[in-house]
């Protein structure tokens, strides 16, 4: 295998001296575990010219050398010479001889049906409150734990696909959980019966998934190929592939896609186009979608047996001022607040189909982790910043920053609950990554800083159904989920786990709690 890899590299780089640069070994050693030996992406994105359009070569050299803020991309200037880094950049900007096709035929062929969901009991095989169940993703060994949110005892631990990303999503009744992995696999799991129902691979390198508010559909947003894939939530059968491109034919990766429940639509931000897409799953689509609709009729025969009507899942394209890497809904789902890496945020009115405000947020807010609450009669948006040691508090009427709360480092996740007076935020990317701040939502002051595992990253708080308990992850192979009393901040329980990341409470997610991401 190694000889084949070296031979292909020589073909890709005529005249490149492998003896001097050893680019093959360097890529395999330092890059392949995250980006895939074939550069098609794993936990990290695909490294191909068509996915690097917004990253110029000088910037790529800087990223490899110094790492990238707000990501898990480390610096390699202490491991690689300038010549070696330049060779790696040349390599990743060289097109593959052939990119695997991943269309309807390949998606259908990947589908696996494990059991007939209609014949499984519609009552849990365990004794617990179905609305207070957590799904805990353990990245360390690719498992997930179904956790009783009343007793904080594990109910079941299941194997997952590699590199889950974007957070599991629940069916509207909370019975099913859907997992999406970076390498494109989607899994449907029956929490009541503790069984996998179906799996399918919707892409080669996938960003995230969303489930429709009526429970009928699921959509996957891909980095590679540049597509959105609509599936039946029942058994994950593919329904439609929407090619992500503008009217001029320029294609784009999908930054993120979420369900806008009150609107009966999916909303997608695009990585390489200055557009936001709203995709209707109503039948028939509402008035107005025809004005912005892109007609993506599949080639004749490609979707034989499926509804190829252009009115199925029509796309409404909204022009925005800048590329969106991340976004956040207000509670009514009329507005999205989108951020990009340059530190500006845009307020986009989905009803008016245009940008209505711009917010200065120089610290690069992590808006998909944003939360809201009532402060002195106003709804405020609170978000950690990925590049600065601060939490931004923004008035959602004036869009002015009320306060920047200084923290011990850049944060990634922020959480609260309607029944809690406090918001919790980590400092995931800083040297003080072991710390978690607790902020009083009315005084806007840090009232407590916890350091539950010195030297280890503490992150991603999630509350239980009632808001009485807060669960925190220690992101380490010898990690844990720690349960706190949400009022006294006393530690109640510590559950050993393998690099637990997110913990997702059924009730908080399906009710779209203002204290958690949607």
DSSP for 232-248 reads ETTT--EEEEEE-B-TT
Both 84 and 136 in a single domain?
Answer: no
Beta-carbon contacts of residue 340 (< 8 Å; ≥ 6 apart): 322, 323, 324, 325
Both 241 and 126 in a single domain?
Answer: yes
- Cα separation, 314 vs 278, in Å, equals 8
Residue in the structure block whose two tokens are 């068509």: 50
pLDDT at 300: 32
pLDDT at 304: 32
Of residues 225 and 19, which shows the higher confidence score? Answer: 225
Domain end point (choices 57, 92, 127): 92
Both 69 and 127 in a single domain?
Answer: no
Averaged pLDDT, 439-455 = 98
- Cα separation, 221 vs 255, in Å, equals 8
- Cα separation, 122 vs 164, in Å, equals 27
| The pLDDT of residue 408 is above 50 | yes
430 lies in some domain: yes
Both 36 and 127 in a single domain?
Answer: no
- Cα separation, 52 vs 218, in Å, equals 27
Of residues 224 and 293, which shows the higher confidence score? Answer: 224
pLDDT at 287: 65
489 lies in some domain: yes
Instruction: List, for residues 317-364, the tens digit of each pLDDT value.
Output: 999 999 998 899 999 999 999 987 666 789 999 999 999 999 888 777
Q: Which of 29-38, 42-51, 69-78, 293-302 comes out lowest in average pLDDT?
A: 293-302
Domain end point (choices 92, 122, 151): 92
Averaged pLDDT, 138-145 = 94
Print the domain residue range for 169: 102-273+275-319
When pLDDT is cut at 50, 70 and 90, the band that residue 299 belongs to is very low
When pLDDT is cut at 50, 70 and 90, the band that residue 470 belongs to is very high
pLDDT at 291: 45
Q: Which of 279-293, 332-346, 434-448 comes out lowest in average pLDDT?
A: 279-293
Q: Which of 433, 481, 436, 480 is nearest to 457 (CA)?
A: 433
The CATH number of residue 437's host domain is: 2.130.10.10
332 lies in some domain: no
Domain total of the chain: 3
Per-position b or e across 308-317, b if 16+ CB within 10 A of its CB: beeebbbbbb
Both 108 and 216 in a single domain?
Answer: yes
Q: Which of 16-30, 143-157, 392-406 comes out lowest in average pLDDT?
A: 16-30
Per-position b or e across 199-225, b if 16+ CB within 10 A of its CB: bbbbbbbbbbbbbbbeeebbbbbbbbb
Mean pLDDT across the chain: 87
pLDDT at 250: 94
pLDDT at 265: 96
| The pLDDT of residue 306 is above 80 | no
Both 302 and 414 in a single domain?
Answer: no
Instruction: List, for residues 65-112, the tens digit of each pLDDT value.
Output: 888 765 668 888 888 898 888 888 888 888 887 778 899 999 999 999
When pLDDT is cut at 50, 70 and 90, the band that residue 153 belongs to is very high
- Cα separation, 155 vs 108, in Å, equals 33
When pLDDT is cut at 50, 70 and 90, the band that residue 487 belongs to is very high
């Amino acid at each position: 295998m190694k000889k084949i890899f070296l031979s292909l590299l020589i073909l890709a780089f005529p005249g490149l001296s492998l003896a001097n640069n050893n680019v093959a070994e360097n890529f395999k050693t330092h890059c392949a575990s995250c980006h895939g030996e074939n550069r098609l992406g794993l936990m990290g994105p695909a490294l191909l010219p068509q996915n690097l359009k917004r990253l110029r070569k000088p910037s790529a050299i800087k990223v490899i050398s110094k790492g990238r803020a707000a990501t898990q991309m480390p610096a390699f200037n202490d491991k690689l010479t300038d010549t070696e880094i330049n060779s790696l950049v040349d390599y990743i900007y060289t097109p593959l001889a052939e990119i695997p096709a991943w269309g309807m035929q390949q998606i259908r062929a990947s589908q696996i049906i494990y059991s007939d969901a209609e014949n499984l009991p519609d009552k849990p095989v365990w004794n617990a409150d179905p609305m207070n169940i957590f799904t805990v993703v353990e990245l360390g060994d690719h498992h997930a734990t179904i956790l009783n949110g009343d007793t904080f005892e594990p109910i079941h631990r299941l194997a997952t696909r590699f590199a889950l990303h974007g957070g599991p999503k629940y069916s509207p009744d909370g019975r099913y959980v859907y997992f999406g992995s970076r390498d494109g696999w989607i899994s449907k799991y029956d929490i009541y019966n503790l069984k996998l129902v179906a799996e399918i691979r919707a892409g080669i390198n996938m960003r995230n998934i969303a489930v429709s508010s009526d429970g009928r559909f699921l959509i996957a947003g891909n980095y590679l190929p540049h597509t959105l894939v609509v599936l039946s939530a029942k058994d994950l059968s593919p329904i439609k592939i929407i090619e992500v491109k503008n009217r001029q034919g320029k294609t784009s990766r999908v930054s993120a896609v979420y369900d806008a429940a009150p609107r009966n639509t999916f909303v997608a931000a695009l990585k390489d186009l200055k557009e936001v897409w709203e995709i209707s799953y109503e039948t028939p689509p509402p008035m107005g979608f025809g004005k912005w609709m892109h007609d993506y009729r599949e080639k004749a025969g490609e979707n034989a047996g499926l509804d190829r009507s252009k009115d199925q899942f029509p796309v409404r394209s909204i022009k925005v001022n800048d590329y969106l890497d991340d976004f956040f809904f207000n509670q009514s789902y009329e507005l999205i607040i989108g951020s990009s890496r340059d530190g500006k945020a845009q307020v986009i009115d989905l009803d008016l189909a245009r940008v209505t405000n711009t917010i200065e947020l120089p610290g690069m807010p992590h808006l998909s982790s944003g939360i809201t609450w009532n402060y002195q009669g106003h709804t405020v948006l609170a978000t950690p910043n990925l590049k600065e040691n601060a939490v931004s508090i923004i008035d959602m009427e004036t869009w002015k920053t009320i306060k920047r709360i200084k923290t011990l480092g850049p944060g990634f996740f922020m959480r609260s609950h309607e029944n809690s007076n406090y918001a919790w935020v980590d400092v995931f990317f800083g040297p003080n990554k072991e710390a978690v701040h607790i902020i009083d939502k009315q005084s806007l002051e840090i009232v407590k800083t916890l350091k539950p595992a010195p030297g280890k990253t503490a992150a991603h708080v999630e509350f239980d159904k009632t808001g009485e308990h807060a669960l925190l992850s220690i992101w380490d192979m010898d990690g844990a989920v720690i349960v706190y009393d949400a009022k006294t901040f006393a530690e109640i329980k510590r559950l050993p786990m393998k690099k637990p990341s997110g913990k997702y409470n059924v009730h908080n997610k399906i009710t779209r709690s203002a204290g958690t991401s949607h």
